[in-house]
Chain A
């Protein structure tokens, strides 16, 4: 009996959270959205996801071996990175792109700094950025979901890409980005029209609101984009689960969406109606990789700040940068770059923004030197 009883110092109990169950719960919350990508984009999407997962696992195993660590695949962190790399790629990307992205993410970003917990950037995002700047053409050639495809065209732009490309022309004839997409023939599903009409008739009309067509497609994931970013609905469902299990800290996404939404509302309407406070917040929330980025990338526990004030500043910074890149940069989305830029600031934030110590400079015997 005696040898079964463990004697340890306090605390004697634990809340049960572990690296393994945090990582695997994130993984399984991402799976539905990845599956949606496969469902709408077809076999090429599945191929990209599999290649990314396998090569990330291989890179992790190889690095663990090289650096003389025990194999750490069980902790799930490499699998989350692999899945995220796959999910942030266009469906039709050539096989070597996810392979190189994965190896860069694991070998360079994660393991050169010591593996799990030591990386100072989100490995998946860094891998994606590496691929983006190396094979820009492949990384910006998008496929449309099957249901949206015209008979002859296989490729099509993401909504944000579509908008950015045409922004140079005069957009002042259009009141909003959504109207612009509609008038210029960005494809829409029949489902969108049907559900929007139903929503307007049954729920929104009595409230005096009208939902323009197009948003339903964005919300459910009928649009061009990366494999895992299109279905806002499934990403949000996973987020609710992670928030309830306290795996995600709400401060970062709240600050991120808050800042970004506020800036969009104030300034993003300028190219269209020429007025302040007329930006289309819903459009910008649902398009591009914002939801995936804000809930699953910016909140990466390793590369985000530790204190609450740090997390708020970090979220605000990411929101500001995303807005600037989307509105004025040459890249249509900007979520990935904004988060990477904020990752770099994290060590500084952790150093400066720390909680104040209890009882500092208060009555009593005074502090030791």
Chain B
């Protein structure tokens, strides 16, 4: 097989989507570097989808690097570890970019690192049973970087189900973001080990690493390592189109199966793990390292320099701005996450969490704001929708509070990829209204 996988570089999901996307190439070739350790870390006790962990520390208490500071109380919870050594200053409620309220531990840096700069020991995992591996993943507080679901929960396959395909998702289809790409280029061996561990837990029929066909370096690095290690893993490159990294679209392309909009990947016998998550599985099992570090892209024209960084969880955004040389112009928007699905924030005190894939400081020119007009019925939203919906129609139903009509038009199928609002020439807040409509329908269901 050739390096580019020539026969399938055009392969992609069939319906809608956006191509080409801006701002991808400029950052791709910048190697990862370690960001400085923040003097004050803000560690939320809730960093995934679920409930906050129970706080185990008190103000003025000394914590070690990697010490457990928040205990998950249930199967769907995730432990939280201290990313730095130091002293707990106080514990205070904060609001996360996506609106969840959670207590957060403020840790002032001080004392000696127990891992940083020390010799790293590797731990063999060959003989370990699946349940032992799962409990390691739970102990280390692993959370899916894309989905926010605890990894031990995701990899626990219910009785009677079999996994046909394990997909390592290295697509990273959002503009700007390329931290997963850097992981695949710089740490192919670790990534492959992570994939093998995940395979040892789920026993899939086949394992696929999926990535974008414009990432030649990563494809080359992975193919070479797979050959060297004689790993039973396929590398599949797909046409760079947004939202190719969405679980449903990815499964549609790689396995040829469509999941019902409200179904899960496991319905088709598939488990999808993000590339960053796979690396954290390796680090948790082989290096016995809890999830306290994260690879992110920090980008946007408001910054003096843009970078792919390894940062401690809990680093406030203000430290990242400093790391990148400060602002050359005032950002018009600050975004936590990718530009298509990320959350806008106004405060530089927001911390990096386990699911943050990047932070963007966008200039007004990158945001492309213009005046809102009437819907033109141009159909761009419909033609860009990967779920085959009519976003403008949904928008109008929701605007007129006709939620049941919107439901029958597929409101709840929306995957919130944002393609519709991205292409709308009338600048209508299509996704905002659709999301509002979904929330109203969901709250009705729970009553």
Contact = CB atoms under 8 A, between A and B. Distances in A.
A357 B388 contact: yes
Interface string B319-348: 000000000001111110101111111110
B379 A306 contact: yes
Interface string A2-44: 1011111111111111111110000000000000000000000
Interface stretch (A114-122, A152-160, A316-324): A114-122
Contact of A364 (B264, B368, B392): B264
B429 to A, nearest CB: 7
A63 to B, nearest CB: 14
Given A115-B374, A306-B377, A365-B262, A14 B422 contact: yes
A20 B427 CA distance: 11
Interface stretch (B36-44, B68-76, B230-238, B252-260): B252-260
Interface string A55-91: 0000000000000000010010000000000000000
Nearest to A301: B378
11 contacts: A5-B330, A10-B341, A10-B431, A12-B335, A13-B367, A117-B374, A117-B377, A302-B377, A306-B379, A365-B262, A365-B267
Contacts of B184: none
A356 interface: yes
A94 B384 CA distance: 46
Contacts of A146: none
What 9 pairs across the A-B complex have the smallest Cβ distances? A364-B263, A306-B379, A364-B260, A11-B418, A301-B378, A117-B374, A7-B344, A14-B368, A355-B388
A206 interface: no
A326 to B, nearest CB: 29
B344 to A, nearest CB: 4
Contacts of B423: 15, 17
Interface of B: 15-16, 18, 22, 175, 248, 252, 257-264, 267-268, 330-335, 337, 339-347, 360, 362, 366-371, 373-380, 382-383, 385-390, 392, 407, 410, 412-413, 416, 418-419, 421-427, 429, 431-432, 435
B17 to A, nearest CB: 12
A365 B260 CA distance: 7
Given A350-B377, A357-B388, 11 more contacts: A5-B333, A7-B344, A8-B432, A9-B432, A11-B419, A15-B18, A306-B383, A354-B382, A358-B258, A358-B388, A363-B267
Given A14-B427, A18-B427, A117-B375, A359 B259 contact: yes
Interface in A267-303: 301-303
A355 B377 contact: no
Contacts of A169: none
B340 A10 contact: yes
Given A12-B340, A75-B373, A357-B389, A117 B259 contact: no
A22 B421 CA distance: 16
Contacts of B332: 4-6
A357 B410 CA distance: 8
A6 B368 CA distance: 13
Contacts of A9: 343-344, 429, 431-432, 435
A303 B390 CA distance: 17
A13 B390 contact: no
Contact of B342 (A4, A10, A18): A10
B340 A356 contact: no
A10 B264 contact: no
Contacts of B378: 301-302, 306
Most buried by B among A11, A16, A117, A362: A11
Contacts of B339: 10-13
B418 A10 contact: yes
B268 A306 contact: no
A303 B427 CA distance: 19
B340 A362 contact: no
Most buried by B among A5, A115, A361: A5
A18 B388 contact: no
Contact of B379 (A4, A118, A307): A307
Contacts of B419: 11
A202 B399 CA distance: 63
